[in-house]
Amino acid sequence: MKVVIVGGVAGGATAAARIRRLDETAQIVVFERSGYISYANCGLPYYIGGVITDPEELTLQTPESFWQRFRVDMRVHHEVTAIHPELKTVTVRNLDSEEEFDEYFDKLLLSPGAKPTQPPVPGVECGRLFSLRTVEDTFRIREFVTRERPRSAILAGGGFIGLELAENLRDLGLEVTIVQRPLHLLSQLDPEMAAFLHAEARAKGVRLMLGHSVEGFAPADGGVQVLLKGEQPLQADMVVLAIGVTPDTALARTAGLELGIKGSIVVNDRMETSLPDIYAVGDAVQVRNAVSGQPAHIALAGPANKQGRIAADNICGGDSRFLGSQGSCVLKFFGLTAAATGLTEIAAQKAGIPCDKVYLAPANHAGYYPGGRTMTMKVLFERDTYQLLGAQIVGYGGVDKRIDVLAAAIHAHLTGPELRDLDLAYAPPYSSAKDPVNMAGFMMENLADGRLKQFHWDEADCLPRDGSVTLLDTRTAGEYVRGHIDGFINIPLDELREHLAELPQGKPVYVTCQTGLRSYVACRILAQHGYDCYNLSGGYRLYAAVKQHYSPAPTSDPCGRER
């Protein structure tokens, strides 16, 4: 059996190694357009910033090492220019010699990846405008920074690459501006969770220009102008395009393969394309969202590696299945860690899934152990069934641990209240006896059992201020003075029982504190004295973060929403 693989890196290289482990006699040929067949593409920004100092650390395998261990014929600087399914051949161009030849295959695996999205605007050919996809791109940016010593950079886009580059370029001393059309950074987070990234960016001197449309680029005074719709242009010494990725599927399109979202290659759960004996994996393929069940394009290294292994199994006669992707991801951004898994609230709404959520702000480990820091958690669930749908966490420590637990819980189809039963490791430097994940489960259990009713940050300003409801802030007087939601009166929790007579019966009571814990205790007191009480999930801390870092604050028109 002869297997031809188009593209290395995560999916293609993984598949090649797996095929060899399953079939010692298979002839395996990999064609890679760049000069590197297996590299740490997620580490590229950190080489630019000098965190990774040795360029060889970016290379996981070389053609020579792959041949020595796996007897796989890895050919770099070879571009596949056409697929001929009926002949079972591909046309290949040697980019060093310009020689063209045809290569026969029994099985063909496509792993072309995705390319940086190029906006259809003038000026993208400017010499000081860069994109970041390959090792060669990385060296080009690093060499430019070292040679030209730019003082300023504009990043068009605030996704993973944009944020990681912002950190690394800022650490090199550059003035950094992120400009993008969306109103919040990192689309894997909902707007209120991204507010904490906005705060971190601004605290570290990164200028954010959100909600601005880039209309083109132009050279100017030894730098680059970024032309904005209806506004004065920006100027910097360099610009990096980081507005997202597009599946690199021109080859598949001309071969007649079925394409889906964003032009991605449609595959089944065996990673088979619409044509026989042709498989596809990685950032170029359309997958099934494991939570919503809907088609999705999720460009992440973890799913690409799994898909490469699954395709290899099936090429070798097995029957492995890809169950879909949850989109689990994690990002370091200066001192913060942001992570997500499953659906965002925006995605759940688009999928037509009725959902609710809980917010909590626990410490990453036991409060009495030094060094604890607060993390903000949002856990999303289906409204009637409490089936877990997704989670987002932003904090300083322990974020990756909790998001992985929640990713596993979603994969296992747990409901929110069942999180209370997870037996998680505890020692004071690492966690609390009631882990934050358990705490999220307790909150959802209380909701399901009717012991807790809640409202959210985007509903607080919609509450009437005409006396028909009672608005109560249960923080200390000092906290209240430093900032509070307009219209909320202050009765500290520890004094609440002595002031119950001041709260009129028969009116709903909406209660807040700093994070939602003290106000929950207040609601339990009030409920047992006959009050209809609602707790602000996430508390004033979340509300204030959104108000401070958005203008105007994002909203989904929550006023009048049914609870």
Give the type of residue at 424: L
| Alpha carbons 152 and 142: distance in angstroms, whole number | 14
Q: Which residue, among 263, 284, 277, has the nearest Cα to 311 in the 3D structure? A: 277
DSSP state of 71: -
pLDDT, tens only, 365-390: 988 899 899 999 999 999 999 999 99
| Alpha carbons 78 and 31: distance in angstroms, whole number | 5
| Alpha carbons 420 and 54: distance in angstroms, whole number | 45
Instruction: Specify the residue for token string 């108000």.
Output: 547
Contact yes or no for 300/329 (Cβ under 8 A) = yes
Pairing relation of β-strands 129-131 and 238-241?
A: parallel
More confident residue, 133 or 273: 273
Tokens of 389: 């749908």
pLDDT, tens only, 175-233: 999 999 999 999 999 999 999 999 999 999 999 999 999 999 999 888 999 999 999 99
Q: Which residue, among 239, 52, 265, 270, has the nearest Cα to 162 in the 3D structure? A: 239
Max intra-chain CA distance, the chain: 89
Contacts of 1 (CB under 8 A, 6+ apart): 23, 25, 26, 27, 106, 107, 315
| Alpha carbons 335 and 314: distance in angstroms, whole number | 43
pTM for this model (two decimals): 0.94
SS3 253: helix
Q: Which helix (H) or strand (E) holds 175?
A: strand 175-180
Contacts of 348 (CB under 8 A, 6+ apart): 292, 355, 380, 389, 390
513 is annotated as an active-site residue: no
DSSP state of 497: G
Report the pLDDT value the prediction gives residue 563, as an integer from 0 to 100.
Answer: 37
| Alpha carbons 269 and 129: distance in angstroms, whole number | 39
pLDDT, tens only, 448-507: 999 999 999 999 999 999 999 999 999 999 999 999 999 999 999 999 999 999 999 999
Instruction: Specify the residue for token string 């500290």.
Output: 492
| Alpha carbons 453 and 456: distance in angstroms, whole number | 11
**Where residue 429 falls among pLDDT bands split at 50, 70, 90?**
very high
| pLDDT over 90 at 86, yes or no | yes
Q: Which residue among 42, 355, 513, 533 is the active-site one?
A: 42
| pLDDT over 70 at 556, yes or no | no
The strand pairing partners of 83, in sequence order, are: 90
| pLDDT over 80 at 426, yes or no | yes
Tokens of 414: 């747990």
| pLDDT over 90 at 10, yes or no | no
Q: Which residue, among 44, 40, 37, has the nearest Cα to 15 in the 3D structure? A: 37
Contact yes or no for 246/114 (Cβ under 8 A) = yes
Percent of the chain with pLDDT over 70: 97
| pLDDT over 50 at 561, yes or no | no
Report the pLDDT value the prediction gives residue 53, as an integer from 0 to 100.
Answer: 79
**Where residue 52 falls among pLDDT bands split at 50, 70, 90?**
confident
Report the pLDDT value the prediction gives residue 562, as an integer from 0 to 100.
Answer: 42
pLDDT, tens only, 310-327: 999 999 999 999 999 999
